[in-house]
Amino acid sequence: MQARKRIGLVAHDGRKQDLSEWVKFNEGTLSRHELWATGTTGAMLTAACPSLKIGRLKSGPLGGDQQLGAMIAEGKLDVLVFFTDPMTAQPHDVDVKALTRLSTVYNIVLALTRTTADFVIHSPLFERGDYHPVRPDYAAYIRRRDEGA
């Protein structure tokens, strides 16, 4: 993992303000990394922190969550900060579950709460470029699937 992390930022409507405050508080640290956000979240974060360069994807329900998932699957994202709202039903809940599943499958950093995000960004490992996460080996699974098991 490089010292310059590739970070996805997304938040449900009820948590967007919380994410905005977290990003503003950590603006100096985040400015040294590559940032990506889903549409509405990205617009809000860009307005709150105009000095940050944030790549914007589509809105979550319109495919932005899947774009982040593709980035994870292609090895183009190291960290996902996704402030979820556990008190509100989400019409695109399956997309949210897919993102958390892919983060687990590919063993990337996943922060679903502000406290977790704080611990991640302030970890000594966060700024280092010599950390090598263990990448799961799915060769046996792929072989089994290809053999029709």
Do the beta carbons of residue 135 and residue 107 sit within 8 Å?
yes
85-118 pLDDT per residue, tens: 887 777 667 878 899 999 999 999 999 999 999 9
Domain presence at residue 93 = yes
CATH number of the structural domain spanning residue 81: 3.40.50.1380
φ, ψ for residue 39 (rounded to 5)?
-45, -65
Catalytic residue among 13, 18, 65, 118: 65
51-72 pLDDT per residue, tens: 999 999 999 889 999 999 999 9
Query: Which residues face 54 on adjacent strands?
Result: 35
- Residue 89 region by backbone torsions, left for phi larger than 0, else alpha for psi between -120 and 50, else beta: beta
Q: Print the domain residue range for 90.
A: 6-146
Per the structure, how many domains does the chain have?
A: 1
Domain presence at residue 24 = yes
Domain presence at residue 100 = yes
The amino acid present at 141, given as its one-letter code, is Y
Domain presence at residue 41 = yes
Domain presence at residue 1 = no
Question: Would you call 93 a catalytic residue per the annotation?
Answer: no
Q: Which two tokens stand for residue 90?
A: 């989400």
Domain presence at residue 123 = yes
* Angle between helices 16-25 and 114-121 in degrees, nearest 10: 20
